[in-house]
A and B are shown apart, each in its own frame.
Chain A
Amino acid sequence: MVNRNCRATLRLVTLINRQGHPHPPLSSSPSGIDACWKQLQRNNVHGEHKIVSFFSPLASSLKTRQWGVNIQSRCYGSASVLVQRNPKFSKLNDEDVRYFEGILGAKNVIQDDEKLITANTDWMRKYKGSSKLLLQPRTTDQVSEILKYCNFRCLAVVPQGGNTGLVGGSVPVFDEVVVSLSAMSKIISFDKVSGILVCEAGCILENIISFLDNEGFIMPLDLGAKGSCQIGGNVSTNAGGLRLLRYGSLHGNVLGIEAVLADGTVLDMLKTLRKDNTGYDLKHLFIGSEGSLGIVTKVSILTPPKLSSVNVAFLACKDYSSCQKLLQEARRKLGEILSAFEFLDSNAMNLVLNHLEGARNPLPTSLHNFYVLIETTGSDESSDKQKLEAFLLGSMENELISDGALAQDINQASSFWLLREGIPEALMRAGAVYKYDLSIPVEKMYNLVEEMRSRLGNDANVVGYGHLGDGNLHLNVSTPQYDDKILSQIEPFVYEWTSKHHGSISAEHGLGLMKANKIFYSKSPETVKVMTSIKKLLDPNHILNPYKVLPCSSIS
């Protein structure tokens, strides 16, 4: 299972491994999340070393030191860099727990094993930490006290929201203290005239959406994880989602945030002003920093009004170039009412139909290669429908689409969206999945999927889908179990290919732990140097979300 082309240090790894802990063979256990999870649990990482990847050019220098006796099995799923627990972080002791109980009250200081397991494991069950303490502050002051103390004691901290991230950025790597924002879930104010909402970071996105629905507004972002993800996490990771095409990214929609820095300083940038050109706009640093520069505690966001006429069409195209041309046409013909343009390939469609209950194929009469979902949002029902119908019929005459269905009511529209939003869940049910989220120029996007298919052949099911309108491909490789051989075929080829085409190795998922040392594929060393100095400025002890986002070599 180890690639023979590895470096010498890698052979050392395997030698020691074979002497120490024999890897459990990847048996052909029945597929399904529970069986996978049991197997993955045997590969659990304890102790101070975690082998995360074999191929990073930066890792080789780290590996030669500190082999030690405690080499444990590798981090399953995605391989990255050998990560060691930074010895300068203190270990948690009883005095610390008592101090936290003093600030938060015993109810909000959690050491209960079951709750800790949930907090330690990410949604994909790929990354598992070993934190012993979960804190649930209820006010910004409490967060400030916690961070002040942790900074003083040099205790590492992981801010956690809905824990729906896909790159391992929301769970501890070793024994960092988890600070969960879930208890801070109040909606503070809402201005009905301007549509500006101020709320705490722990509000679940779906709850905010229902609140706004009552007032006649919508959130500018919408993602499949909305039932669990929290707005603080969305802002900290600059989540994209399904409506980015129409409403833009969070950088444009977030008007202000309140964040707590590593030393406990509360930065109140919570303005509700549309325009404020006074000085450097620091909030943009926090948007997308994945919790490594500060903990976001309040958010003020501009919400667009809810428009009455929403139409969803589910279309079939015979090849990828028609999907592209369709996008160009849609931009022109539908223009201001276009609000979402998603695509999925036939493998993705089959997965959803097979694994998700309630999924129904709107175009059952034949197999199609590509499916496109178009949503329009406007204020005039009849004119929007006319526009959309004219566009669709025109595209059909020009043979851009081979078939399609138009949703006649809201239920049909939700069932179309289920086909697109249910793909991640269907992939989870199908077995193990390697997820990649890439920004690639639209013309070349599907070439990567086809190349991956030829590389992996029959060993894996390569699925491509994503936000075609934003040039964002979600490349997923589905296999019955996690297998390093397959992983070695995927990485670093995927990153190198993307880098060659001047794309981004992480369009919206962020870097987290999974891509912590891959930033150089998409950003220049000078840029990363400046990022590192900002991190040193705002978090000199590096206690916030360590081992993630920026490469470990640059931090130490």
Chain B
Amino acid sequence: MKIMVAIKRVIDYAVKIRVKPDKSGVVTQNVKMSMNPFCEIALEEALRIRESGLASEVVAVTMGPSQCLDTLRTGLAMGADRGIHVDSTSALHPLHVAKILRNLVQIEKPSLIILGKQAIDDDCNQTGQMVAGLLNWPQGTFASKVSPSSNHPGFKNQAFAPTMWWGFPKDKSNMSQIGKKEYTHGTMKSLIGVVLDKEKEEVTVDREVDDGIETVQLKLPAVITTDLRLNQPRYATLPNIMKAKSKPIKKFTPQELNVEIKSDLEIVEVTEPPKRKAGVMVSSVDELIEKLKNEAKVI
């Protein structure tokens, strides 16, 4: 079974964003770019599914100018088997991305598409849903965690020295924290947030929604978008970086895929949110009422 993961190159999450003086966008010159955090989580999930033996191949797809190859290389260094780069210098909005993905699916024929729920630069949260709509596939969005069982062998693999010294009670709070799962090879299904059932060709997804957790069961092929608490992405280790250099990257253009990049959205203006004003001390209740009435106009 093949899994396709879409990854996006965005401004690094920890960078302080600055708006361009002409208000046409944000400053991207000389700013550190990296993989969208949700896409990292999506790729990590795909890798875990493959490592549990339920998938044979993970293909990473990225779209954009040639600099996106850096992000694709990161994806390959994390463990993806192949990369696809759709080269385009024009701005790609979610609908374009969704159409390109649909056409790629007809070439690659994956059974599962995993994407991040949204990109941190545009916060659209649309691509996954649009892909599912265009392909007429079921979707499980905002996939989040499943509580792991506590007698899990996966918890033992941190590199602790086997001898305990001082007879101190070892601080186990680290291990029982949700979200600090370390991944081992040959792990059980319950470590994965998304539970795949190969025989029945179904996938069970726990979705984090506003009023709690909703569990859905989707028939494959399906689209999943990942939310923050699904897993903790792995680091790119040197042996994998070395292997990534020889992994194939196929190149496409939107024209080859029969998708017309016609921009029907125009960004009129980008401004910073208004700076928070300092509070005002009032000296009496009457003054407070007067301010609420006349300045804030709430009573």
Q: Which of A346, A362, A385 makes the CB contact (< 8 A) with B161?
A: A346
Asked whether A354 lies within 8 Å of B174 as measured between CB atoms, the reply is yes
Q: Which of B12, B14, B35, B238 makes the CB contact (< 8 A) with A401?
A: B238
Q: How far is the CA of A346 from the CA of B161 in the complex (A)?
A: 8
Name the residue among A354, A393, A409, A431 with the largest chain B CB count within 10 angstroms: A409
**Which residues of B sit under 8 angstroms from A412, Cβ to Cβ?**
235
The residues in B between 213 and 263 inclusive whose CB is less than 8 angstroms from any CB of A are 232, 235-239, 241-242
The residues in B between 160 and 188 inclusive whose CB is less than 8 angstroms from any CB of A are 160-161, 165-166, 168, 170-171, 173-174, 177, 180, 182
Asked whether A403 lies within 8 Å of B237 as measured between CB atoms, the reply is yes
Q: Which of B16, B31, B237 makes the CB contact (< 8 A) with A405?
A: B237
Give the shortest distance, in Å, between B37 (CB) and chain A (any CB): 8
Asked whether B160 lies within 8 Å of A353 as measured between CB atoms, the reply is yes
**Which residues of A sit under 8 angstroms from B236, Cβ to Cβ?**
405-406, 408
Q: Which of A362, A408, A458 makes the CB contact (< 8 A) with B34?
A: A408
Asked whether A357 lies within 8 Å of B173 as measured between CB atoms, the reply is yes
**Which residues of A sit under 8 angstroms from B170, Cβ to Cβ?**
354
Report the interface size for chain A: residues with CB under 8 A from the other chain.
Answer: 51
Per DSSP, chain A at the interface is mixed
Asked whether B174 lies within 8 Å of A213 as measured between CB atoms, the reply is no
Q: How far is the CA of A214 from the CA of B15 in the complex (A)?
A: 11
**Which residues of B sit under 8 angstroms from A31, Cβ to Cβ?**
166, 168
Q: Which of B14, B32, B166 makes the CB contact (< 8 A) with A308?
A: B32
Asked whether A364 lies within 8 Å of B158 as measured between CB atoms, the reply is yes
Asked whether A431 lies within 8 Å of B165 as measured between CB atoms, the reply is no
Verify if A349 is at the interface (C-beta below 8 Å from B).
Answer: yes
Per DSSP, chain B at the interface is loop
Verify if A266 is at the interface (C-beta below 8 Å from B).
Answer: no
Nearest opposing residue in chain A for B29, CB measure: A308
Asked whether A213 lies within 8 Å of B16 as measured between CB atoms, the reply is yes
The residues in B between 180 and 214 inclusive whose CB is less than 8 angstroms from any CB of A are 180, 182
**Which residues of A sit under 8 angstroms from B239, Cβ to Cβ?**
396, 403
Asked whether A409 lies within 8 Å of B238 as measured between CB atoms, the reply is no
Asked whether A406 lies within 8 Å of B168 as measured between CB atoms, the reply is no
Asked whether A364 lies within 8 Å of B166 as measured between CB atoms, the reply is no
Q: How far is the CA of A214 from the CA of B27 in the complex (A)?
A: 14
The residues in A between 336 and 386 inclusive whose CB is less than 8 angstroms from any CB of B are 346-347, 349-350, 353-355, 357, 359-368, 381-382, 385
Verify if B139 is at the interface (C-beta below 8 Å from A).
Answer: no
Give the shortest distance, in Å, between B80 (CB) and chain A (any CB): 13
Q: How far is the CA of A278 from the CA of B72 in the complex (A)?
A: 57
Verify if A389 is at the interface (C-beta below 8 Å from B).
Answer: yes
Give the shortest distance, in Å, between B235 (CB) and chain A (any CB): 4
The residues in B between 129 and 170 inclusive whose CB is less than 8 angstroms from any CB of A are 157-161, 165-166, 168, 170
Report the interface size for chain B: residues with CB under 8 A from the other chain.
Answer: 37
- Once A346-B161, A396-B242 are accepted as A-B contacts, the answer to whether A411 and B168 lie under 8 Å apart by CB is no
Asked whether A406 lies within 8 Å of B238 as measured between CB atoms, the reply is yes
Give the shortest distance, in Å, between B43 (CB) and chain A (any CB): 11
Verify if B30 is at the interface (C-beta below 8 Å from A).
Answer: yes
Nearest opposing residue in chain B for A361, CB measure: B159
Q: How far is the CA of A403 from the CA of B158 in the complex (A)?
A: 16
The residues in A between 398 and 453 inclusive whose CB is less than 8 angstroms from any CB of B are 401, 403-412, 414, 430-431
- Once A393-B238, A406-B238 are accepted as A-B contacts, the answer to whether A355 and B171 lie under 8 Å apart by CB is yes
- Once A364-B157, A364-B158, A364-B182 are accepted as A-B contacts, the answer to whether A410 and B168 lie under 8 Å apart by CB is no
Q: How far is the CA of A141 from the CA of B257 in the complex (A)?
A: 74
Verify if A480 is at the interface (C-beta below 8 Å from B).
Answer: yes
Q: How far is the CA of A31 from the CA of B242 in the complex (A)?
A: 45
Asked whether B241 lies within 8 Å of A389 as measured between CB atoms, the reply is yes
Q: How far is the CA of A391 from the CA of B157 in the complex (A)?
A: 29
Nearest opposing residue in chain B for A480, CB measure: B166
- Once A309-B32, A362-B235, A406-B238 are accepted as A-B contacts, the answer to whether A354 and B166 lie under 8 Å apart by CB is no
Q: How far is the CA of A115 from the CA of B13 in the complex (A)?
A: 39
Verify if A392 is at the interface (C-beta below 8 Å from B).
Answer: yes
Nearest opposing residue in chain B for A401, CB measure: B238
**Which residues of A sit under 8 angstroms from B30, Cβ to Cβ?**
308
Give the shortest distance, in Å, between A34 (CB) and chain B (any CB): 15
Verify if A461 is at the interface (C-beta below 8 Å from B).
Answer: yes
Nearest opposing residue in chain A for B71, CB measure: A408
Q: Which of B12, B160, B166 makes the CB contact (< 8 A) with A409?
A: B12
Verify if B108 is at the interface (C-beta below 8 Å from A).
Answer: no
Asked whether A403 lies within 8 Å of B235 as measured between CB atoms, the reply is no
Give the shortest distance, in Å, between A365 (CB) and chain B (any CB): 8
Asked whether A461 lies within 8 Å of B174 as measured between CB atoms, the reply is no
Give the shortest distance, in Å, between B148 (CB) and chain A (any CB): 17
**Which residues of A sit under 8 angstroms from B237, Cβ to Cβ?**
362-363, 403-406
Give the shortest distance, in Å, between B158 (CB) and chain A (any CB): 6
Nearest opposing residue in chain B for A396, CB measure: B238
Verify if B127 is at the interface (C-beta below 8 Å from A).
Answer: no
Q: How far is the CA of A53 from the CA of B142 in the complex (A)?
A: 63
Q: Which of B37, B160, B241 makes the CB contact (< 8 A) with A393?
A: B241
**Which residues of A sit under 8 angstroms from B77, Cβ to Cβ?**
406, 408
Verify if B74 is at the interface (C-beta below 8 Å from A).
Answer: yes
Q: How far is the CA of A409 from the CA of B232 in the complex (A)?
A: 14
Nearest opposing residue in chain A for B36, CB measure: A409
**Which residues of B sit under 8 angstroms from A366, Cβ to Cβ?**
159
Q: How far is the CA of A480 from the CA of B34 in the complex (A)?
A: 43
Give the shortest distance, in Å, between A207 (CB) and chain B (any CB): 15
Asked whether B74 lies within 8 Å of A364 as measured between CB atoms, the reply is no
Give the shortest distance, in Å, between A443 (CB) and chain B (any CB): 26
Q: Which of B34, B161, B242 makes the CB contact (< 8 A) with A367?
A: B161
Asked whether A353 lies within 8 Å of B174 as measured between CB atoms, the reply is yes
**Which residues of B sit under 8 angstroms from A359, Cβ to Cβ?**
174
Asked whether B232 lies within 8 Å of A353 as measured between CB atoms, the reply is no
Q: How far is the CA of A34 from the CA of B168 in the complex (A)?
A: 15
Verify if B70 is at the interface (C-beta below 8 Å from A).
Answer: yes
Asked whether B241 lies within 8 Å of A406 as measured between CB atoms, the reply is yes
Q: How far is the CA of A88 from the CA of B160 in the complex (A)?
A: 55
Asked whether B13 lies within 8 Å of A411 as measured between CB atoms, the reply is yes
**Which residues of A sit under 8 angstroms from B13, Cβ to Cβ?**
409-411
Question: Chain B 61-74 against A: per-residue CB contact (8 Å), 1 yes, 0 no?
Answer: 00000000010001
Top 8 A-B residue pairs of the complex, sorted by shortest distance between their CB atoms: A409-B34, A410-B14, A405-B235, A404-B238, A362-B235, A308-B30, A405-B237, A408-B74
Additional 17 contacts, C-beta under 8 A, given A308-B31, A458-B165: A31-B168, A308-B32, A314-B235, A353-B174, A357-B174, A361-B182, A364-B159, A367-B159, A385-B70, A392-B238, A406-B238, A408-B35, A410-B13, A414-B14, A431-B166, A431-B168, A480-B168
* Sampled A-B contacts (13; CB under 8 Å): A346-B161, A350-B161, A353-B158, A362-B235, A396-B238, A401-B238, A406-B238, A406-B241, A407-B235, A408-B34, A410-B15, A411-B14, A431-B166
Please give the residue numbers on chain B whose beta carbons come within 8 Å of chain A beta carbons, in ascending order.
Answer: 12-16, 30-32, 34-35, 37, 70, 74, 77, 157-161, 165-166, 168, 170-171, 173-174, 177, 180, 182, 232, 235-239, 241-242
Please give the residue numbers on chain A whose beta carbons come within 8 Å of chain B beta carbons, in ascending order.
Answer: 31, 213-214, 308-310, 314-315, 346-347, 349-350, 353-355, 357, 359-368, 381-382, 385, 389, 392-393, 396, 401, 403-412, 414, 430-431, 458, 461, 479-480
